[in-house]
Amino acid sequence: MNHSTLRLLGIASAGIVLALAPAARAQSACDADTNDDGAVDSADLGALLSQWGPCKACGSDLNRDGQVDSSDLGALLSLWGESCNPLPWATVLEQSPDPAIVTNAALRDAIVATGFPWRVRDNETQIEMVLIPPGSFQMGCSVSNAHLCSGNEGPIHTVTLTNAFYIGRYEVTQAQWTARMGSNPSLWKNPSPQVPADQVPNRPVDTTSWDTIQNFLGGSVNGPQLRLPTEAEWEYAYRAGTTTAYHSLPGHPDGTNDDVLANDIAWWGACPWCGGNSGNQTYPVGWKAGNGFGLHDMAGNVYEWTNDWTGPYPSFPVVNPTGPDSGPARVLRGGSFGDARTNLRASKRMWAPPNHLSNRFGFRVVRELEAPSK
């Protein structure tokens, strides 16, 4: 059945004839491929008809007007038979952001507007990743109720990131590192009363230097190479639209400055006087609450290497900053199981020489994106 025939006949569903509006083309075949099987076909049509009418955050609401109707049907039919393969290096897990996780409507809209799937799995490494849309934010000092900022956390300045990117939903695990590298450098690779043996492979890999991580990142195929996030990308991803010391968590969608609530998002504080919750060890990724992008362990567990050399912040707005061209040390972010709570704040900075190994250091990965075909 061709498009013209469908437009002439309409489509009958539940005894109601649906008159087609002029075909308003959807953004891409990937928007109309609502079941994420790579093709726009009868399965997507059936899903659209089943959701006909008022429908908030429905996958079949292709023009995002809160209604599945003839406009959406016309858009789907205009793409009938086309294929969707926006990311040859990935498997799509969820096309649209889950409102229960990405609770901020503006962030959901920004993710959808990129034309890329929200949640994917990297086929080479099996790393789950989520999409971070372009945007602007205030980078730098965020004090908490109990902790002030260090001098190197300022001045606060506007940063604009013009390109969407994918970032690991979790820190790279020991299992993922071992599968790619053939050995496990981690100190925390034995079970404990808190972490059973079957969960140890899901602890973040530790004792990784910036230099050794480059071997893990290299050799990617079917798309841009994996890399570490820039420091600005990391902080933007941590904040997920918040301006507080700690990112959002259940019950606190706008983030929090309450240091006690940091226990809900992070493993931290090995020292007896810190009052932390880690018991001086790492934990499987994802056991603590995620942020407004769906990222876990951005605070605590292990520090995360970024790509930037350390250096002072500018006092003026910047676009897509990548840090100094050289320096003695690379920036780490997020704090760790062995750190005081102040190091869990969004703006807290740490650094170390790129060849430095520590059982408190790990990382998460980024993949860049090209513009989707329309």
> What single string gives the DSSP state of each residue in 113-171?
HTTS-SEEEETTT--EEEEE--EEEEES----SS----GGG-S-EEEEE-S-EEEESSP
Q: What is the rounded distance in angstroms from the CA atom of residue 327 to the CA atom of residue 348? A: 19
| pLDDT given for residue 264 in this prediction | 98
Q: Among the CATH numbers 2.40.30.20, 3.40.190.10, 3.30.565.10, 3.90.1580.10, which is that of 91-368?
A: 3.90.1580.10
How would residue 5 be classed by pLDDT, with cut points 50, 70 and 90?
very low
Among the ranges given (17-21, 109-113, 148-152, 158-162), the one the predictor scored with the smallest mean pLDDT: 17-21
The pLDDT score that the predictor gives to residue 289 is 98
Please give the model's pTM, rounded to 2 decimal places: 0.81
Q: What is the CA angle 296-302-307, rounded to 5?
A: 90
Mean pLDDT of 186-192: 97
Fold of 3-78: Type 1 dockerin domain (1.10.1330)
Of residues 232, 348, 252, the one with CA closest to residue 300: 348
> Which of the residue ranges 39-48, 79-88, 148-157 would you say has the lowest mean pLDDT?
79-88
- Whether the pLDDT of residue 10 is over 50: the answer is no
pLDDT tens-digit series, residues 307-322: 999 999 999 999 999 9
85-140 per-position pLDDT tens digit: 678 899 999 989 999 999 999 999 999 999 899 999 999 999 999 999 999 999 99
pLDDT band at 15 (very low <50, low <70, confident <90, very high): very low
Provide the residue ranges of all domains of the chain, joining segments of one domain with +: 3-78, 91-368
DSSP code string of 49-109: HHT-EE-TT-TT-TT-SSEESHHHHHHHHHTTT-B--S-TTEEEEESS--TTTS--HHHHH
The helix/strand/coil state of 242 is coil
d(CA 253, CA 242) in angstroms, rounded, equals 8
Query: What is the pLDDT, as a whole number, of residue 293?
Result: 98
What pLDDT sits at residue 218? 85
In this prediction, residue 372 carries a pLDDT of 41
Q: What is the pLDDT of residue 274?
A: 67
Average pLDDT of the chain to the nearest whole number: 89
User: What whole-number percentage of the chain has pLDDT above 90?
Assistant: 77
Q: How far apart are CA 33 and CA 82, in angstroms?
A: 9
Name the band, by pLDDT with cuts 50, 70 and 90, for residue 270. Answer: low
Instruction: Please state, in angstroms and rounded to a whole number, the distance separating the CA atoms of residues 320 and 230.
Output: 9
In three-state secondary structure terms, 332 is strand
Phi first, then psi, for residue 130 (nearest 5°) are -125, 155
Rounded CA gap, 288 and 210, in Å? 25
Q: How confident is the model at residue 34 (pLDDT cuts 50, 70, 90)?
A: confident
User: Could you tell me the pLDDT band of residue 253, with boundaries at 50, 70 and 90?
Assistant: very high
Give pLDDT tens digits for 200-220: 999 999 999 999 999 999 866
pLDDT attached to residue 361: 98
Which stretch, 11-20, 22-31, 227-236, has highest mean pLDDT? 227-236
> Does residue 156 have a pLDDT over 80?
yes
Of 329 and 33, more confident: 329
Distance, CA of 327 to chain centre: 28
Q: Are 47 and 60 in contact (CB under 8 A)?
A: yes
Specify the pLDDT at position 88. Answer: 86
User: pLDDT grade, residue 4 (50/70/90)?
Assistant: very low
Helix axes 174-181, 210-217, angle to 10 degrees: 70
Q: Regarding predicted confidence, which is higher, 34 or 255? A: 255
Average pLDDT over residues 42-47: 92
Q: How confident is the model at residue 221 (pLDDT cuts 50, 70, 90)?
A: low
Could you tell me which residues are beta bridge partners of residue 131?
166
